[in-house]
Chains A and B, each alone.
Chain A
Amino acid sequence: MFPFGFEWIWDMSHLVFMGGLWYALTIIGIGMAYCIIKAAVDTSQGKGAHHH
């Protein structure tokens, strides 16, 4: 549910519950995006190619 949805009410319950969910999803999303992008950059720079 987002603030622009018709069910949304600006109260503490919605802010805490939905805020908590977005907060967790944001950390997970940014963390994974960082890992994937850095891995792509590292690979393009030839890192990890000769580790065996």
Chain B
Amino acid sequence: MDSALFPKGVKRCPTWQFALWIGAAGIVLLWGVYAMLLCWLKGLNQTNMNDYYGFALWIWADLAVIALGGGAFFTGFLRYLVGKDELKNIINFAVIIGFICYSSALLILAIDVGQPLRSWFIFWHANVHSMLTEVAFCLSCYFAVLTIEFLPLILENRQIDKVPFFHNLSHNMHEIMAVFAATGAFLSFFHQGSLGGVAGVLFGRPFAFREGLFIWPWTFFLFTWSAAAFGPCFTIFLLKITEKITKKKLVRDSTVWLLAKISGWMILTYIIAKTADTIYWLSVTAPATGYTAGFFYDNWFYNIGWLIAEIVVGGFIPALILISKKGRQNPTTLFVAVLLGVLGVSINRWVMVLQVMAIPVMPFDTWALYYPSWQEVATTVLPVAYGIILVSLSYRYLPVFPNEVELNAPPEPAPAPEVEPDVPAEAAPAQA
């Protein structure tokens, strides 16, 4: 029915099957939208946030999707600025994932601010001493950049591309994409960093507070570094899931291996820096404020397991797998590595948002644990459903994977064996 919209030469599932798939994700999406409307109409009393938890599940989700969406800016940086041309085969997918992550982050923020109609205040009445202002500026601008990077792909839809103006627009946008990619990398560096900076400057929260360079705490650099390192893991992780669901090979192994290798080295260098930062913080920074290392992990829920999970399981292990040729070229270990990487950076963002809030800072305080309300969970799951729908629509109707046709072409039939003449060639004239 909709086959005229498919990219040239590809096969897609029947419309009814696609509609069922979208419908299933749509139900989850509607659940999230219902919870979102409750938050907007009834207010933030729908959440379990309180005086201890001004930042909660939403801010963790925000920070996590922004880190995971870092694959878009870093892949763009490698492709357009460093010149890793091989990555052109995966850049479209990375941009879509980035677009989904950043639009989700903005959506979650729109719920979290409670009064979305006043969101423009941060631009017009900007507090120029706040790292969050920088985050808001860079996030909005980078989302505009991601939209610009996504637009040519939409314009390349088989039917839209027939309109000469759209064809030319798409062509022109491709021509100067390096300018947009450079702008995106610049914006990402600062907002990823400032998200870490927000935690690092909290001198009243000894779990988060760090020293640093000039006005930037070490967390500023670690957040940018980790987003660039783990973002490509998320791109590869989703690519592998997409390949599993569609039962197709969508990107060449060499491209995936290259991205995995770069990601592996980025993770390794990051996790060494993170380990050094943790040791210095636990042995110098925290004791100087009167805290011992054991104090931060002295809880049944927030125990030392979080630190091990973040640094060893979600850091060193994926790094070592990805930098080894054998590790990244084996489909199972590659998948395990990118999955652990995704979990590792998500745990990092979790502890830097929620464990920070849980730890007692006053003599009369105790550990404050927090359980999100169902409305918070539903609005956090909403972006997942939205992401599934957008990836599905993009895969079905847009030429996301340039090598798809070639990688899934039926094997060429073996050349027919030449028929051996029954009689020797030299005898043939005599027969005739």
Residues on A facing B (Cβ under 8 Å): 1, 5, 7, 13-14, 16-18, 20-21, 24-25, 27-28, 31-32, 34-36, 38-40, 42-43, 46-49, 51-52
Which of B145, B162, B173, B187 has most A Cβ within 10 Å? B173
Q: Are B144 and A28 in touch, CB under 8 angstroms?
A: yes
Q: Which stretch, B127-135, B245-253, B391-399, touches the partner chain A?
A: B127-135
For the complex, give the distance between the alpha carbons of A13 and B126 in Å. Answer: 11
Residues on B facing A (Cβ under 8 Å): 123-126, 128-129, 133-134, 137-138, 141, 144-145, 148, 162, 164-169, 171-173, 176, 179-180, 183, 186-187, 190
Q: Are B168 and A17 in touch, CB under 8 angstroms?
A: no
CB distance from A15 to the nearest CB of B (A): 9
CB distance from B95 to the nearest CB of A (A): 15
For the complex, give the distance between the alpha carbons of A32 and B69 in Å. Answer: 23
Chain A residue with Cβ nearest B137: A21
Question: What B residues does A36 contact at CB under 8 A?
Answer: 169
Say which residue of B141, B148, B166 sits within 8 Å of A24 (CB atoms): B141
Which of A13, A35, A49 has most B Cβ within 10 Å? A35
CB distance from B286 to the nearest CB of A (A): 30
Q: Are B165 and A13 in touch, CB under 8 angstroms?
A: no
Q: Are A28 and B129 in touch, CB under 8 angstroms?
A: no
Question: What A residues does B144 contact at CB under 8 A?
Answer: 28
For the complex, give the distance between the alpha carbons of A16 and B129 in Å. Answer: 11
Chain B residue with Cβ nearest A36: B169
Question: What A residues does B145 contact at CB under 8 A?
Answer: 28
Question: What B residues does A13 contact at CB under 8 A?
Answer: 128-129
For the complex, give the distance between the alpha carbons of A52 and B183 in Å. Answer: 33
CB distance from B192 to the nearest CB of A (A): 15
Given A13-B128, A17-B133, also A47-B168 (CB < 8 A) = yes
Q: Are A38 and B172 in touch, CB under 8 angstroms?
A: yes
Question: What B residues does A35 contact at CB under 8 A?
Answer: 169, 172-173, 176
Question: What B residues does A28 contact at CB under 8 A?
Answer: 141, 144-145, 148, 180, 183
Q: Are A48 and B164 in touch, CB under 8 angstroms?
A: yes
For the complex, give the distance between the alpha carbons of A36 and B124 in Å. Answer: 28
Q: Are A31 and B141 in touch, CB under 8 angstroms?
A: no
Say which residue of A17, A24, A38 sits within 8 Å of B183 (CB atoms): A24
